[in-house]
Amino acid sequence: MFPTQGFTEIVFCAVTSNEQVKGYGTHLMNHLKEYHIKHNILYFLTYADEYAIGYFKKQGFSKDIKVPKSRYLGYIKDYEGATLMECELNPRIPYTELSHIIKKQKEIIKKLIERRQAQIRKVYPGLTCFKEGVRQIPVECIPGIRETGWKPSCKEKGKEIKDPDQLYNMLKNLLAQIKVTALCIVQMKASVRCI
């Protein structure tokens, strides 16, 4: 702990292999975070080897270092082959209660989803207009679409995109956003599993 510099270096943090994935590392780290917040130290620095990077990411560490180098240079050893990582602590987060809070949030979200799904259980027959030669229909004409909560956005109310290149770029951007969102969800589920 370097109080004058405003950070603590985590030199070594390990849980024996047969006890891993039980939450002990997270439990320890959460208590350590709250202790440091009480002492107004809001940054952890650590050098993580390739096997520890995943653990530290799950604990909120990042390779993006915000602590100025002048604050830690000469205070911590530079380890060859290891990656410097930082965790910025948020005094508003009750770290020792975090796993309970996330569990409760997941339960609430699950109940909300179940309620919403119960409201939209009706199954509509498929669209037959395309068999009759219709090439497109407005989204709001699809039976049941409004019941799902769908509303036309401001962009959709405006002019329709007809240029194929513009449409291609719009759909390409949308696909990229979907991929990023999916990746975030996967990472969030992985980090929640470790708490």
Could you read off the pLDDT of 162-180 as tens digits, one per residue?
A: 788 888 888 888 888 888 8
Which DSSP helix (H) or strand (E) runs through 10? Answer: strand 8-10
What is the predicted pLDDT for the residue at 108? 93
Range of the domain at 43: 8-97
Express as a percent the part of the chain with pLDDT over 70.
91
Point out the catalytic residue in the list 9, 19, 34, 107. Answer: 9
Beta bridge partners of 45: 9, 86
Does some domain include residue 135?
no
Asked whether the predicted pLDDT for residue 189 surpasses 70, the reply is: no
Six-digit token string for 15: 């849980």
Please check whether residues 12 and 93 belong to one and the same domain.
yes
Q: Catalytic site residue 9?
A: yes
Please check whether residues 15 and 93 belong to one and the same domain.
yes
Does some domain include residue 166?
yes
* Average pLDDT estimate for 146-158: 67
End-of-domain residue from the set 71, 97, 123: 97
Count helices and strands (H / E) in the chain: 6, 3
Does some domain include residue 113?
no
In this structure, the strands spanning 8-10 and 43-48 are parallel
Does some domain include residue 120?
no
* Average pLDDT estimate for 10-35: 83
Does some domain include residue 110?
no
φ, ψ dihedrals at 130, nearest 5°: -70, -30
* Average pLDDT estimate for 22-45: 89
Lowest-confidence segment of 3-17, 68-82, 95-109, 150-164 by average pLDDT: 150-164
Lowest-confidence segment of 44-53, 126-135, 182-191 by average pLDDT: 182-191
What is the predicted pLDDT for the residue at 109? 92
What is the predicted pLDDT for the residue at 195? 44
